[in-house]
């Protein structure tokens, strides 16, 4: 019997949440896609290792959310987040990464990301994060939230 991973508190606004997965690691992409296929309200409409190419191809499909690894193509990923958000302001960005440095995480949010997860997240957390971000909420992986919030306090001190 499959566990109930639908998190009824986060329902899709209308129909399925259309998702693009961009990750340089094929195994990671396949694992994420497989996990998301367990949820009837998620639809992976495109995936790829080359962020620029994936984005160009998939945006014609009208995604609701882009789930991306900031290591994709070793590009300046924060600038890429800015570009995506500027060109497609309605698309939600959810970062999934191994980067744990506060500055990197804060940079992702400043560039337009609405959520940040570490790659080794539980299935339930990935689904919860996608639904939260899709529903105009911010999501931060609980295991890094304390250090990121403390970094925000340090950053805003006069």
CATH number for the domain harbouring residue 76: 3.40.50.2300
Q: Which helix (H) or strand (E) element contains residue 148?
A: helix 142-156
Q: Of 61 and 141, which is predicted with more confidence?
A: 141
What per-residue confidence (pLDDT) applies to 8?
Answer: 34
How far lies 106's CA from each of 77, 100, 112, 131, 136, in Å?
13, 10, 10, 21, 18
- Domain membership of residue 105 (yes or no) is yes
**Do the Cβ atoms of 86 and 111 come closer than 8 Å?**
no
Asked if residue 1 has pLDDT above 60, the reply is: no
Question: What is the rounded distance in angstroms from the CA atom of residue 16 to the CA atom of residue 95?
Answer: 20
Question: What is the rounded distance in angstroms from the CA atom of residue 73 to the CA atom of residue 79?
Answer: 13
Residue range of the domain that includes 127: 17-156
- Domain membership of residue 2 (yes or no) is no
Average pLDDT over residues 131-157: 85
- Domain membership of residue 111 (yes or no) is yes
What per-residue confidence (pLDDT) applies to 5?
Answer: 32
- Domain membership of residue 8 (yes or no) is no
- Tell if the pTM clears 0.75, that is, is over it: yes
- Domain membership of residue 123 (yes or no) is yes
Task: Assign 138 a pLDDT band (cuts: 50, 70, 90).
Answer: very high
Question: What is the rounded distance in angstroms from the CA atom of residue 158 to the CA atom of residue 155?
Answer: 8
DSSP character at residue 68: E
Average pLDDT over residues 123-130: 91
Asked which of 2-6, 38-42, 44-48 is least confident by mean pLDDT, the reply is 2-6
- Domain membership of residue 6 (yes or no) is no
- Domain membership of residue 139 (yes or no) is yes
């Amino acid at each position: 019997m499959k566990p109930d991973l639908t998190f009824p508190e986060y329902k899709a606004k209308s129909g399925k949440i259309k998702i693009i997965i961009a990750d340089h690691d094929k195994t990671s992409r396949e694992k994420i896609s497989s996990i998301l296929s367990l949820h009837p309200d998620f639809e992976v409409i495109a995936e790829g290792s080359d962020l620029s190419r994936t984005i160009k191809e998939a945006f014609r499909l009208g995604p609701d959310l882009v789930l991306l690894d900031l290591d994709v193509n070793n590009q300046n990923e924060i600038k890429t987040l800015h570009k995506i958000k500027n060109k497609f302001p309605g698309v939600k960005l959810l970062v999934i990464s191994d980067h744990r440095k506060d500055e990197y995480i804060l940079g992702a949010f400043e560039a337009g990301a609405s959520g940040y997860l570490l790659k080794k997240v539980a299935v339930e957390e990935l689904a919860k994060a996608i639904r939260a971000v899709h529903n105009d909420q911010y999501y931060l992986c609980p295991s890094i939230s304390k250090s990121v919030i403390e970094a925000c306090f340090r950053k805003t001190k006069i």
